[in-house]
Structure 1
C-alpha cells in the first residue's frame, strides 16, 4: 500500500518539480525530484522522492547519499541492475524494491536492458536541510 501511494504521489507531482541540479555523472539517465514534505512527527526529517529514468543502456555513476538518508526504492518500469553496499549485484524487475541504509555505497545503478527504458522511484527519509541527494564518487 505504501509503495502504491508513494508511486501515485510521485507520478502526479512529476510535472511540478524541476530536475535535480546535482545528478551523478551518468549516461542516458535523468533524476527528477518529484515530492518533498517535512515529516510532522519527526522533527528535522523530510520525505523526498526522486524519479530515476534510464534510457536503453543508461546508468548512473557510482555514488553515495547523505549520511542521514534511508532510501526505499521500487522499480516502476523495465529492469534495473543494482549493487548496494556489500550485497551482490542484482537485477530488479518492475514491482521489485530494495533499501539503502545510511552510509551505503551504490556501486551499480543501471538499466538492465540495452533496448528498453527503465524507471525507479527512490523515496528518501533524510535530514530536512539536505539538498544534495546524490554524491558521485571522487575519481
Structure 2
C-alpha cells in the first residue's frame, strides 16, 4: 500500500507542477497521469509517465525537473517546440522524440502551432520520491 501511495503522489505532483508551469499569457497545457511503477531491477528508481496536452498556442514557463530525472519525450500528435539549456530550439513532430538529461533547464516547451493541438508523452526515470517532478522558473 505504501508503494501505491508514493506513485499516486508522484503522478499528482507531475500533473500539478506541469499545470503550474503554464504561462499566464498562453493557454494552459493539461497533464494526464499515464503510468507509474518502481523499476524492479534498479532499486530506488521509478518510471513515471504523463501525457502533456497543449491546446493551440499552449506553452509552459521555463522550468527544471527533479534533479534525478532523465526524461524521454515522445510527440504523440502535432508539433512541439523545445529548447534545453543553451542548445538550439527545435520543433519535433508526431512520431519524433527527444530526451532531457538530469539537471538541465528547459527554456522552451510549447505547441508549435497556433491552430492545432499537440500531445507529448513525457516519461521520467527518477529516484522514487524525488519531488516535485517539475519546477517553474520565476
> TM-score normalised by the shorter chain: which range applies?
0.7 to 0.9
Residues 82-131 of structure 1 deviation map (CA, whole Å, 9 limit, x = unaligned): 00122100000001100100001100000000000000001100011124
**Is residue 37 from structure 1 mapped to residue 37 from structure 2 by the alignment?**
yes
Equivalence for 1:21: 16
Equivalence for 1:14: none
Instruction: Give yes or no for contact 1:46–1:126 (8 Å, CA) kept in 2.
Output: yes
Residues 4-61 of structure 1 deviation map (CA, whole Å, 9 limit, x = unaligned): xxxxxxxxxxxxx767222333133112221100000000000000111000000011
User: What is the aligned-residue RMSD (CA, Å)?
Assistant: 1.4
Instruction: Give yes or no for contact 1:46–1:128 (8 Å, CA) kept in 2.
Output: yes
**Greater displacement, 22-31 / 92-101:** 22-31
Pairwise mapping of residues 1-139 of structure 1 onto structure 2 (< 5 A)? 20-23=15-18, 24-26=20-22, 27-138=27-138
Instruction: Give yes or no for contact 1:71–1:122 (8 Å, CA) kept in 2.
Output: yes
User: Is there any run of 5+ residues in structure 1 with no aligned partner, and where?
Assistant: 1-16
User: Is there any run of 5+ residues in structure 2 with no aligned partner, and where?
Assistant: 1-10
In 1, Cα distance between equivalents of 2:54 and 2:100: 19
TM-score (norm 2): 0.83
